Structure 1
């Protein structure tokens, strides 16, 4: 345990709030409404904007969505490849009591804390929004920090370095995926296909956005259940 994580987690665990505020923070950290259901609709807003940069903006939306998928995939790989890190809420070494102790999720006990897939995914999406709309993008990044990252540290789901590394990787993925030399290789052909087949593309976009909002949770649970019964 490094001193940076320890000092911040100790400070957060000593913040005593009233039960209503704690339940509100728990809801913000748990419900999809306060995560993807805030940021993904902004991408749809960007998609339907009509101006001279319409095609570029749509390519950026596609690149941002793909960046989110890549971020989730990379996050899953890192949790398996890197040494396992117990989440603060389950660490007996910390001797800390977190506000979220009463909502422990059994699934999290076997899921490494480092890096944060939430920070990775939603910072990737927020960065894509920022690269298109600076003003709205700043708000998206601030929202990701305040409503997605900080509550997870306060409730003991992640250490600060989990969130910082996840955010850094998410930002880096989006920055690379949206570069002109890379983006045009996949986003331009995809955009042509979408224009030729609006029906199937709209259906796939809807399914993809639903899965991103839920971070593929139901598919993961289904796959986990199938594997356990094999």
Structure 2
């Protein structure tokens, strides 16, 4: 009887124990989820606060300095080392492998720049600092309306970091110099005057080189361009002319392509 009673007790109590255990586990999981969610929110607020602090510190350094911005925004000054390196590397070797790889990398430059502009139009990470009246900025840039209120990531920094990555693929020493040049002359001044947050620049530094490295490493784009160069072997002046037009437009941040894109966007919406 005792054994039977014990067995009966076990049979009766087991479901109740299981239910209590399940409820306890669910409560523990729910509590853990809320703890993790609060931690994530706190971390996000910390990162946002740090982003703003760095922006204000750099802006206080020279946000109202006209000379600094004129140098940083001068197309010849900011672009000379990067574009000089690209042209020099193109003509330094006539091997189809190198030129095919460089053309694949230039395709990556276009894609990365287009992605950064698309992101500014279609995502809402944060408003451009210069357009936020809550941020006390000292800047030489007039606070006029922009067609892109979102500033993540910087399309200018994406373009130049992408080009520096292409130089790095072909010659590491020159590429490292170009990366430092772009960071100091192109990217950081855009934070100083309030056009971008530091996180916008970091996003550009990740996006641009990543796309270029991937396309320069994939075999198919390189082979495609190599075959095209072989086909134009007796007419390379056409390739050089197209490359010149591309670099000339890229030298000033693709103004022609951006204008055409806006015209196409308006025609599609009308």
Deviation readout 1:138-177 (Å, 9 max, x if unpaired): 1010011001100000010100001100110001101101
Q: Could you say which structure has the greater relative contact order, defined with CA pairs below 8 angstroms and 6 or more residues apart?
A: 1
Correspondence 1:156 to 2:194: yes
Residue 250 (structure 2) aligns with: 212
Deviates more, 1:178-187 or 1:67-76: 178-187
Residue 14 (structure 2) aligns with: none
Counterparts in 2 of 1:138 and 1:16: CA distance versus 1, 3 Å: closer
The answer (yes or no) to whether the contact 1:87–1:112 under 8 Å persists in 2 is yes
Counterparts in 2 of 1:107 and 1:129: CA distance versus 1, 3 Å: farther
User: Within 5 Å, which residues of 2 pair with 1:190-209?
Assistant: 190-209=228-247
Residue 43 (structure 1) aligns with: 86
The answer (yes or no) to whether the contact 2:112–2:207 under 8 Å persists in 1 is yes
For the residues of structure 2 that align with 1:56 and 1:224, how far apart are their CA atoms? 36
User: Within 5 Å, which residues of 2 pair with 1:71-220?
Assistant: 71-83=112-124, 85-94=126-135, 96-100=136-140, 103-104=141-142, 106=144, 108=146, 110-220=148-258
C-alpha root-mean-square deviation of aligned residues, in Å? 2.5
Counterparts in 2 of 1:79 and 1:46: CA distance versus 1, 3 Å: same
Counterparts in 2 of 1:36 and 1:191: CA distance versus 1, 3 Å: farther
Q: So what's the TM-score if we normalise by structure 2?
A: 0.73
For the residues of structure 1 that align with 2:223 and 2:122, how far apart are their CA atoms? 29
| Structure number, greater radius of gyration | 2
Residue 32 (structure 2) aligns with: none
Deviates more, 1:198-207 or 1:163-172: 198-207
Counterparts in 2 of 1:225 and 1:15: CA distance versus 1, 3 Å: same
List runs of 5+ in structure 2 lacking aligned partners: 1-44
Q: How many residues align?
A: 221
For the residues of structure 1 that align with 2:58 and 2:243, how far apart are their CA atoms? 39
